[in-house]
Amino acid sequence: MILVLLRQPTRGHSPWLRLRAELIHPDPRRQRLAIVGVLIAGGLLLGLLVGATGPTIAIALAVALIGAGMVVRSPLWGLLGVIAISTLLPFATLPFKIGFTPSFLDLAIFATFGVWALRYAAAAETRFEASAIGGAVILFLMMAAFTFAMGLQHARPTANNLRQFAEMILSITLFFVVINVVQRHAQLFFLARALMLGGAAAAALGVLFYILPQTATVWVLDRLARLSYPGGFGALRFINDDPEGIMRAIGTSIDPNALGGLIVLAGLFTLPQLFTQGPLFSRRWAAALVGVQVLGLYLTFSRGSMVGFVAGAGVMALLRYRKLLALLLAVGLLFLILPFTQDYVQNMWLGLTGQDRSTQMRFGEYRDALDLISRYPIFGVGFTGAPEIDLYVAVASLYLLMAEQMGLVGLFTFLLLILLFLNTLIRGLRRPQIDPASEGLLLGVLAAMAGLLAAGIFDHYLFNLAYPHMTSLLWILIGAGMVAVHFALQDDPTLSASHPTLTQGTP
């Protein structure tokens, strides 16, 4: 705004125009004095903001303003903002209410949709792509809306219910933003790099919070409490909720299983960069990104996420990189015999045999979920609550939770959509002349989806209203996969042979 004002023609002697005259004055001494004055004024304003709101909120507001300016430039920057917030500050909210307390993720998603819609309203964009699975995505959205409406007969929605459901719908609809905004290879690679780096940053925060003294971790979380993060030692997580036992990595995802799921998504998406002939990063950087994500996943002690990661890596190895099978076997053997992994091995064994408390609680949830589904099998009970006092809607399984809320019809719709998507990915991978960079991305998306689907047997964060950031990341990944397939199936791929310079042509 200041730059725009400074470029306006001179009229009268307003302070803005006098400032402009000084900043562009031919005398270098007067120019320097004007610049120093502007910097001092800006510093004083920043200091006033920090003094009034605290450093955490001041920094958050500054980042938000910078982000808003970037989003206005292109919806692709909005997608980047959604990824950054989903991986680094997924639960941060504004320190005030506007009828409800909007989260940073809400603002990023709304801004992205707003800019995207304005491009159509201003006729700057006329193309709308639905893709081969777009119809299935729309059908799934319609089923979600229908079952939400049906569930209103059981329980009235709260303002929080309405906000969370709107977040989920908009998060799924990000799929259409991705496939319409990402129109060039450079843009696809830009988005892919953002997902990989965001996942690595989230894992690095998890590792950092784990190795720091607990008092230091709590101090950081207490600073984030101004943004609605849980603070105090109660925010730390331990196996079986025993503070005397083994601590679990949480990062800024707070829930170790949700952090594990985020790492499954981003880590498996990054893993092919170690093997493909067209990596988006150098091998050294790719190894560092994968390494920190694997370490972060290990420290979460999330058994479901670990199973999902191994399953996704196994799918990738069977399809393309057979050497990865030997690496997985070697790592698995070391995992079983190394002294410092024995606690993990024991925890995994207790889970497999159903001997620990958390696994037994999950078995109880599964039984209760099957009871609810048997009573409301077709369209479920919706998203606002259970219709009977002896029932509840909460289970640590993506598929059972979806069947509870949307019924078997909704679950079937989701599984059909995913099967169509996986089939489309495999079609793209079968193309004889596929370029190495696109092949790496397709393999990464396929492996990530396989891992998430396997982990979804044991966890619910992909379809839980409390974790909208995971829903956003999932559908951005699916959108990126469909764009990669589109490029792979083009008759005349336009990818430059010198693709390492991928920032050219990005937003």
Q: With residue 168 as reference, give the H or E element that holds it.
A: helix 159-181
Residue-wise pLDDT tens digits, 34-91? 667 766 765 566 555 555 555 555 555 555 555 555 555 678 888 998 999 999 999 9
Check residue 65 and give its pLDDT. Answer: 53
The residue with tokens 């200041």 is 2
Check residue 495 and give its pLDDT. Answer: 42
pLDDT at 94 over 80: no
| Distance from C-alpha of 450 to C-alpha of 454, rounded to nearest angstrom | 6
pLDDT at 505 over 50: no
The residue with tokens 């995994």 is 348
Check residue 77 and give its pLDDT. Answer: 86
Check residue 394 and give its pLDDT. Answer: 85
11 burial via Cβ count (<10 Å: 0-12, 13-18, 19+): exposed
Q: pLDDT band for position 20 (50/70/90)?
A: low
Torsion region of 262: left, alpha or beta (phi above 0 gives left; psi -120 to 50 gives alpha): alpha
Residue-wise pLDDT tens digits, 266-318? 999 999 999 888 889 999 999 999 999 999 999 999 989 999 999 999 999 88
- Token readout for 101 is 């307390």
Q: pLDDT band for position 330 (50/70/90)?
A: confident
Torsion region of 273: left, alpha or beta (phi above 0 gives left; psi -120 to 50 gives alpha): alpha
Residue-wise pLDDT tens digits, 333-344? 888 888 877 878
**Can you give the C-alpha Rg of the chain in angstroms?**
25
Contact between 384 and 152 under an 8 Å Cβ cutoff? The reply is yes
pLDDT at 424 over 60: yes
| Distance from C-alpha of 328 to C-alpha of 325, rounded to nearest angstrom | 5
Domain spans of the chain, in order of start: 2-45, 66-488
How is the chain split among helix, strand and coil, in percent rounded to 5?
A: 70, 0, 30
Q: pLDDT band for position 504 (50/70/90)?
A: very low
For the chain, what is the mean pLDDT? 83
Q: pLDDT band for position 129 (50/70/90)?
A: confident
pLDDT at 472 over 60: yes
Check residue 11 and give its pLDDT. Answer: 45
Between the ranges 28-32, 70-74, 77-81, 481-485, where is the mean pLDDT highest? 481-485
pLDDT at 12 over 50: no
Q: With residue 238 as reference, give the H or E element that holds it.
A: strand 237-238
Check residue 421 and give its pLDDT. Answer: 96
pLDDT at 391 over 60: yes
The stretch 498-506 carries a mean pLDDT of 38
Give this prediction's pTM.
Answer: 0.83
DSSP 246-287: -EE--TTT-SHHHHHHHHHHHHHHHGGGGT-SS-SS-HHHHH
Helical axes 468-488 vs 104-121, angle rounded to 10°: 40
Mapped onto helix, strand or coil, the DSSP state of residue 202 is helix
Residue-wise pLDDT tens digits, 138-185? 999 999 999 999 988 877 888 888 888 999 999 999 999 999 999 889
Residue-wise pLDDT tens digits, 226-278? 888 888 888 899 988 888 888 999 999 989 999 999 999 999 999 999 988 88
